[in-house]
Structure 1
């Protein structure tokens, strides 16, 4: 329904633009600005189907011309068939455009302009030949040159408009990136101050641990019994003080990340771009031979970009940790697709896999299969229990896992559209 509304809205604008036209024959054959807007919509919204868009646009142009003819008290019977050929032109334009762009890069504007010229010229020639066949007009060799010039002019206009839109978008993105970078620097500075208190408390925690162990030994040896109560109270007071300072630090971090930044949201494709860059940088830093692949489906705008980024980052970090430094090329793939009213995100790796007996425990708090027993260090991820909580709590979704020992692991994250998407289409860049 949403896709159909987009096509109908675009077709209505094309029909209105088609009223800016000139006649180049002594018939109802006219060239208009409608096709310029038709191509702009196809370029901006990659999910529009050119043939369907052409058919509906042609019908919209045809109906509008009939309405204008009736309003002007024209003779409808004289033009009702002739106007139908507008449908033929737009439909064949969509067909030719679709065939020519199937094996080419539509984002290459210099290549696109030749496709537009060919589509425009061929669609117009088809319409002209049909008019000649039904006896509505006569063929002149000069008409081919005229149609070629029309195709060139309209296609060049589209090229200039698309180039300007791309340049304008780049300026907006640059400005947005500069603002985000400034915010990031400010956020980092504030976090540094919060980290100072947390690091300071590490010393206090070590002291409390030492005092607790000392008290434990005295109790075990039944020494200095009169001091046990005072020592216990002192330990309790110290723990309480640390708890208060950590509460302040956590409150400060929450305030920084949730309230002060005031980020409205982000496009999903921008999230993936950042994720791609940072994870590949992490792989290079670790010196692992891993190929990271992203396959992104439909774009959408979300205000929960921090949570999405955190979920995906931690699942990919887990995948990276699961791959050994064997020297062989390993793969991590991120696939996004939509199924009915939900988004599906699939993160797969060709790592060591997970034992069957461990598989049912991996979402349990504190569980990890990646512990360095020589140092006690656990992998850098948040832990799958936290990832699961984010998916279920913030997105009302679910996460599943499938793994084969020695072959790899696949996580599937299912998130309902209405819990992640924001109806903010003017911010979406296709």
Structure 2
């Protein structure tokens, strides 16, 4: 569903919901369920602009009320102006909501509840005073507490609905995680057989290496020439056997992983939630004071969740490793945005940076600047080459890197939309 189409769809639902209403003491002043529908849908479709959606919803409510009045009374002349103030209510509600909602944590339902009360009560006051000012309608001051009660009641319904959605979503996620855990256990048990063959081949490889070295020594010393051919043939035969067994192992692992991880896909936000939780736990484990922040423009459904998880995890771990232990204000940002038909993923840190002469080599397998001089251990640098392979070969995208020594590093990936997104129910895009 296209963006403008979604605004129209939401407004239509709000218009329908607004027909559930009650009248108060002021003529044509009605309290409806439309605003409940509007807020829930605004929270569900996060990228909808509240003011535009609220304004169109107000027009839709106005049209619905005029139409129903025409059906029941046959003439709308008496209510054309009066009903227009419904638009004013929805406009002010959405304006106040938009003004306040970005100042609170949307994941904190109690904070959202307070925003809703203020928006509802204030918009009702504006509508009520406008009616009394321009329609010369009499009202009593006693209605103001009633409006506060209405704001509390409607906001309370939304609060209850949001809690229900939250716990239902947690229940579904728990079920999904349990199912994945079962499959992981089964995968582990299946892989143990393949591990046995890998361990067996390691012994065979050690033996072949030993035989190869013996042959090398004989050739070097120019002794026992009559045994060279038979030893070389034996080594070749052993390598051929190892190759056959490795092919069986690779085939077995592929079959197991394809069968056990035939997942239906995930929403991008769910991938990021899992990644955020695991990476922050890793930061705590290694006792580094690093802030990890995610900025997501959009949500989408993808079957490439393992690829996304792999590239972002590798880049975040790279950034964590690049952070000096005692750095103040250490920060890693993961940013997602849309540019035309591309997803742009950025992993930026303010760590130690990369020397300019090393930038052109960092995607080469085996290249690394990470050496533990106390042990001599070298990080073999496969992570970035894997990232480059996934982004460019598997996802048909591109990756760029920029870095300033002592200031930080930015990795920017451009991935075509069709490489990541899957259309389900008119393309589940921007879906909460």
Gaps of 5+ in 1: none
How far does residue 406 in structure 1 lie from its aligned partner after superposition?
4.2
> 2:21 & 2:331 partners in 1: Cα distance?
55
SS at match of 1:56: helix
SS at match of 2:364: coil
SS at match of 2:58: helix
How far does residue 39 in structure 1 lie from its aligned partner after superposition?
1.5
State the Cα deviation string for residues 173-218 of structure 1 (Å, max 9, x = none).
2212211222222223333332232222112111111111211222
1:25-424 equivalence runs, <5 A: 25=25, 27-72=27-72, 74-135=74-135, 137-323=137-323, 327-329=326-328, 330-371=330-371, 377-379=377-379, 382-424=382-424
How far does residue 283 in structure 1 lie from its aligned partner after superposition?
3.9
How far does residue 284 in structure 1 lie from its aligned partner after superposition?
4.3
SS at match of 1:78: coil
> 2:374 & 2:124 partners in 1: Cα distance?
75
State the Cα deviation string for residues 198-239 of structure 1 (Å, max 9, x = none).
222112111111111211222233322232222222211211
Whether the 8 Å contact between 1:297 and 1:338 is mirrored in structure 2 is yes
> 2:406 & 2:156 partners in 1: Cα distance?
56
> 2:269 & 2:397 partners in 1: Cα distance?
20
How far does residue 265 in structure 1 lie from its aligned partner after superposition?
1.2
SS at match of 2:47: coil
TM-score by length of 2: 0.89
CA 36–294 in structure 1, closer or farther in 2 if over 3 Å, else same: closer
SS at match of 2:382: coil
CA 239–14 in structure 1, closer or farther in 2 if over 3 Å, else same: same
How far does residue 339 in structure 1 lie from its aligned partner after superposition?
2.6
Q: CA RMSD in A?
A: 2.7
> 1:80 & 1:150 partners in 2: Cα distance?
25
How far does residue 262 in structure 1 lie from its aligned partner after superposition?
1.9
Whether the 8 Å contact between 2:113 and 2:159 is mirrored in structure 1 is yes
- Which segment drifts farther, 160-169 or 132-141? 132-141
- Which segment drifts farther, 282-291 or 267-276? 282-291
How far does residue 374 in structure 1 lie from its aligned partner after superposition?
8.0
Whether the 8 Å contact between 2:54 and 2:90 is mirrored in structure 1 is yes
Whether the 8 Å contact between 2:197 and 2:245 is mirrored in structure 1 is yes
> 1:130 & 1:11 partners in 2: Cα distance?
24
How far does residue 6 in structure 1 lie from its aligned partner after superposition?
1.9
Whether the 8 Å contact between 1:11 and 1:60 is mirrored in structure 2 is yes
> 1:205 & 1:420 partners in 2: Cα distance?
40
Whether the 8 Å contact between 1:368 and 1:383 is mirrored in structure 2 is no
CA 207–394 in structure 1, closer or farther in 2 if over 3 Å, else same: same
- Which segment drifts farther, 39-48 or 101-110? 101-110
> 1:351 & 1:340 partners in 2: Cα distance?
31
> 2:381 & 2:273 partners in 1: Cα distance?
20
The total of aligned residue pairs comes to 429
Gaps of 5+ in 2: none
